[in-house]
Chain A
Amino acid sequence: MYSASDLKKGLKIQIDGQPWQITEFEFCKPGKGTALYRCRLRNMINGSGMEKTYRPTDRIEKPDLEEREMYYSYNDGHHYVFSDVETYEEMSVDPEVLGKQAYFLLENSLCKFLLFNGEPIEITLPTFIEKEIVETEPGARGDTATNVMKPAKIDNGYEIQVPLFINIGDIVKIDTRTGDYAERISKA
């Protein structure tokens, strides 16, 4: 358990069985009154926010959070299966947890897992991956200076906006945090 005086920006706490992170923190105390610890909180599972004020005598639960490094292995048709870097223990992950990031999983990608009560709530992929463009309108030669973009697809069907000069067969770098095109690695 944490006591109220442990609270600070960035700390992760548990409220009603959910993990929350303190995004803003303020120590308040009327000169002759009680100390109050005002927190702005972000739910670590669904991203929702709330405000909460604690008193000095309050006790706050610690969430059971664990960070692990896992390699991505394969998709069994329903789940994405990862294996622990050290123990090789396998873990199946629901597609919902990964969301759009599922498109950017490569075999043997090293991913950082944040587990809450043993369940993954946040999976961080390598920041950049390289993928081949399999579908796009023909490239406009020489037009490398403008910011005009066009749609393109990678092998697993993920649609991405790329500059006009990109052609089918080009290898591009994608930022997995945003899902956006970063740069061209090589030409077809």
Chain B
Amino acid sequence: MDIRTVARRRGNLERRAALFAAIRHFFDAHGFLEVETNVRIPAPVPEEFIESIPASGEFLRASPEIAMKIMVAAGYERIYQIGRCFRAGEHGGRHREEFTMLEYYAAGMNYRELADFTTGFIREAAERIFGRPELTFRGEKIDLGVPPEILTVADAYRRYCGVSMEEASRKDIFDELMVTRIEPKLGCEHLTILTDYPAERASLARLKPDDHSVAERWELYIGGLELANAYGELLDPVEQRERFRLATRVRQAAGMLDYPNPDDFFLALEQGMPFCSGAALGLDRLAMVFADAADIGDVRAE
């Protein structure tokens, strides 16, 4: 840590602290309980593109989702957590291997309602900090006073790439097009909720009851920056086991780390989890937006 660099960042770090305080205020006022689950966990979720960092026989969490979903099953209906998460090999202007996540779950809320709740706390944080529902990020004014743009993933590929979502997946250019053509267009002037991801990218989200080709999953964008990922949570233990089994197979073929099965999570699902939605939001990135910072390092005490 460089003493001069961190001294220069005082304004951004004060803004970051104000943002955290505003978020905690909002969640507390809406009946959410702040919780802390373990940072070191025995069994991470097997994700095809996320690698955990081993830590004395266990792993540093890439996300607190399993522990928090077990808490939802245990009867904690509204919970949130602010804490460090770790992802191997992710480092750049928008990434750190160690970063701060805001993760929250609400029983009885569907995934679209959770999107409204999320844009609500961002709007209120801006009002508390700037005195108005508006942000300036990278030279663009972003109006938080209007409803967010709701754009389906299928429409985004059609509109910005001229190919269908299915074709992008089939040709294995889904992520390239997302990063190069779609993301730069999202969250300009107002927030964008990119929603209804293809079923094969559902992870822990349930499929839409009326259309099994897409999942109840959205991501939030501000100024081209991916900020949050949310699910209408999958409650079916059989389907969840099957998805983990498939993901584990892909991970093994790619030579990624071996994880034990999260038996405690399956047990919680089998005992019955209430209908709920959950989201994970990168707080370093939200702090970037609130501080109008170009690089994620600018808003971190590092």
* B47 with A32: CB separation less than 8 A: yes
Chain B residues positioned under 8 Å from A35 (CB to CB): 49, 89-90
* B90 with A32: CB separation less than 8 A: no
A-B contact count (CB 8 A): 53
Considering the chains assembled together, what is the distance between the CA atoms of A33 and B30 in angstroms? 32
Stretch in A22-30, A68-76, A161-169 touching the partner? A22-30
Closest partner residue, chain A, to B197 (CB atom): A32
* B175 with A30: CB separation less than 8 A: yes
Range, interface on chain A: 10 to 19
Task: Point out the residue from B90, B174, B219, B254 that lies within 8 Å of A29, measured CB to CB.
Answer: B90
* B219 with A31: CB separation less than 8 A: yes
Asked, given contacts A29-B49, A32-B229, A33-B174, whether A5 binds B201 with beta carbons under 8 Å apart, the answer is no
Chain B residues positioned under 8 Å from A30 (CB to CB): 175, 178-179, 183, 226
* B92 with A32: CB separation less than 8 A: no
Considering the chains assembled together, what is the distance between the CA atoms of A5 and B93 in angstroms? 15
Considering the chains assembled together, what is the distance between the CA atoms of A183 and B179 in angstroms? 51
Chain B residues positioned under 8 Å from A29 (CB to CB): 49, 90, 92, 95
Q: Is the interface of B mostly helix, strand, loop or mixed?
A: mixed
A53 at the interface (CB under 8 A from B): yes
Considering the chains assembled together, what is the distance between the CA atoms of A5 and B179 in angstroms? 18
With an 8 Å Cβ cutoff, the count of chain B residues facing the other chain is: 25
Chain B residues positioned under 8 Å from A31 (CB to CB): 219, 226, 229, 280, 282
A126 to chain B, nearest CB (A): 36
Considering the chains assembled together, what is the distance between the CA atoms of A30 and B183 in angstroms? 9
Considering the chains assembled together, what is the distance between the CA atoms of A38 and B178 in angstroms? 13
B56 at the interface (CB under 8 A from A): no
Task: Point out the residue from A5, A32, A53, A57 that lies within 8 Å of B180, measured CB to CB.
Answer: A53
Considering the chains assembled together, what is the distance between the CA atoms of A79 and B26 in angstroms? 76
A36 at the interface (CB under 8 A from B): yes
B91 at the interface (CB under 8 A from A): yes
* A53 with B89: CB separation less than 8 A: no
Chain B residues positioned under 8 Å from A46 (CB to CB): none
Question: Which residues of B from 87 to 119 have beta carbons under 8 Å from A?
Answer: 89-95
Question: Which residues of B from 219 to 258 have beta carbons under 8 Å from A?
Answer: 219, 226, 229, 254
B192 at the interface (CB under 8 A from A): no
* B179 with A36: CB separation less than 8 A: yes
Task: Point out the residue from B50, B91, B176, B180 that lies within 8 Å of A27, measured CB to CB.
Answer: B91
* B47 with A28: CB separation less than 8 A: no
Q: Is the interface of A mostly helix, strand, loop or mixed?
A: loop
B268 to chain A, nearest CB (A): 22
Chain A residues positioned under 8 Å from B94 (CB to CB): 27-28
Asked, given contacts A28-B179, A53-B180, whether A34 binds B92 with beta carbons under 8 Å apart, the answer is no
* A26 with B92: CB separation less than 8 A: yes
Considering the chains assembled together, what is the distance between the CA atoms of A33 and B95 in angstroms? 14
Closest partner residue, chain B, to A56 (CB atom): B89
Bitwise interface map of B from 37 to 80 toward A, beta carbon under 8 Å scored 1, else 0: 00000000001011000000000000000000000000000000
Asked, given contacts A5-B89, A35-B90, whether A27 binds B179 with beta carbons under 8 Å apart, the answer is no
B203 at the interface (CB under 8 A from A): yes
A132 to chain B, nearest CB (A): 49
* A36 with B176: CB separation less than 8 A: yes
Considering the chains assembled together, what is the distance between the CA atoms of A32 and B95 in angstroms? 13
Chain B residues positioned under 8 Å from A38 (CB to CB): 179-180
Asked, given contacts A53-B176, A53-B180, whether A32 binds B93 with beta carbons under 8 Å apart, the answer is no
A34 to chain B, nearest CB (A): 5
Asked, given contacts A29-B90, A29-B95, whether A34 binds B180 with beta carbons under 8 Å apart, the answer is no
* A27 with B95: CB separation less than 8 A: yes
26 CB < 8 A contacts A-B: A26-B93, A27-B90, A27-B91, A27-B92, A28-B92, A28-B179, A29-B49, A29-B92, A30-B175, A30-B178, A31-B229, A31-B280, A31-B282, A32-B50, A33-B174, A33-B175, A33-B178, A33-B179, A34-B175, A35-B89, A36-B176, A38-B179, A53-B179, A53-B180, A56-B89, A57-B254
